[in-house]
Amino acid sequence: MSALHLLVDGPVAELRLDNPSKLNALTVPMLEALDAHCAALERDATVRAVILTAEGDRAFCAGADITAWSELPPAEFARHWVRDGHRIFDRLARLSKPTVAAISGHAFGGGLELASACDLRVIAPTATLSLPEAGVGIVPGWSGTQRLARLLPEPVIKEMAVFGRRISAERALALGYVAEIADDPRAAARAIAEATLGASPRAAEVAKYMIHAAAGEDRAAMVEALGSGMIAASADKAEGVAAFRAKRKPQFPGN
């Protein structure tokens, strides 16, 4: 059984990392579960927002479990471990629903990359952020030098990835990486998520697509999603489908 669970209770769903004895380090089954849960969330119209949480207060996520990747051949490490993880994190980032990460403890490496795939983040006062991969001879592989570069200034990412420095909760707030510091990040994340329930779900979804297109988060897909949504509601689309089914030439009204 995977140590990453999906809990749906009303309109706010929770993705929960649940392996505190190993600092919620990410394994292959956890990545596969995240992939499957994101697919389920996209199909569940009753879910309006998602929070990402973790059991324990020592670490939100210490990154990737070193035993899961350390013995992989170089080609398999690059082709599967890195690319599969990147694809799954991208799937979380591109969920149509608002997402909030509750950083209850330290977020290192893949854990920081996981939190960065959410729309907003809240953090515990004593939690810290880091990219410690160089300390074990590797580099960030799940968007730590890419998506994170849109969320933090370049020198700050170099502090973490090159110089091995940790970023405090206070500094993360000052940099705009987190929305707030909270003694109970899970409760704070849920409150933020629940605040979206009074807004139009479709408007929130489209706003997220527009922002992602501007920021470069899968820009091509976001632009086509926006255009396709607009054309799908047109009379021209209805006429085109009707003409195809009737095997006649369409008469497009132009609206």
Confidence category of residue 138, pLDDT binned at 50, 70, 90: confident
Angle of helix 201-215 relative to helix 219-232, nearest 10 degrees? 140
Confidence category of residue 77, pLDDT binned at 50, 70, 90: confident
Instruction: Tell me the per-residue pLDDT of 186-205, one tens digit each, with 9 for 90 and over.
Output: 999 999 999 999 999 999 99
Q: What is the mean pLDDT of residues 75-99?
A: 88
Among 51-65, 172-186, 223-237, the range scoring the smallest mean pLDDT is 223-237
Write down the mean pLDDT value for the chain.
92
> Which SS3 state, helix, strand or coil, does residue 166 take?
coil
| Residue 63 DSSP code | -
**8 A C-beta contact, residue 161 and residue 133:** yes
Q: What is the mean pLDDT of residues 172-180?
A: 98
- pLDDT for the residue 1: 60
Q: What is the mean pLDDT of residues 12-28?
A: 95
| Residue 176 DSSP code | T
Q: Following CA atoms 229, 231, 234, 240 in sequence, which dihedral angle do they give, to the nearest 10 degrees? A: -130
- pLDDT for the residue 168: 98
**8 A C-beta contact, residue 49 and residue 11:** yes
Question: For residue 165, is it left (φ>0), alpha (ψ between -120 and 50) or beta?
Answer: beta
pLDDT of residue 9 exceeding 90: no
- pLDDT for the residue 78: 74
Helices (H), the chain: 28-43, 66-69, 74-76, 83-93, 110-116, 154-161, 169-174, 185-195, 201-215, 219-232, 235-246
pLDDT of residue 127 exceeding 80: yes
Among 33-37, 74-78, 95-99, 233-237, the range scoring the smallest mean pLDDT is 74-78
Of 64-78, 145-159, 235-249, highest mean pLDDT: 145-159
The whole-angstrom separation of Cα 142 and Cα 105 is: 20
- pLDDT for the residue 232: 86
Which residues are known catalytic residues? 113, 133
CB burial of residue 75 (10 Å; 0-12, 13-18, 19+): exposed
- Amino acid code (one letter) for 183: D
- The helix, strand and coil proportions of the chain, stated in percent and rounded to the nearest 5, come to 50, 15, 35
**8 A C-beta contact, residue 150 and residue 215:** yes
Q: What is the mean pLDDT of residues 39-52?
A: 97
Give percent above pLDDT 90 in the chain. Answer: 72
Q: What is the mean pLDDT of residues 113-142?
A: 94
- pLDDT for the residue 192: 97
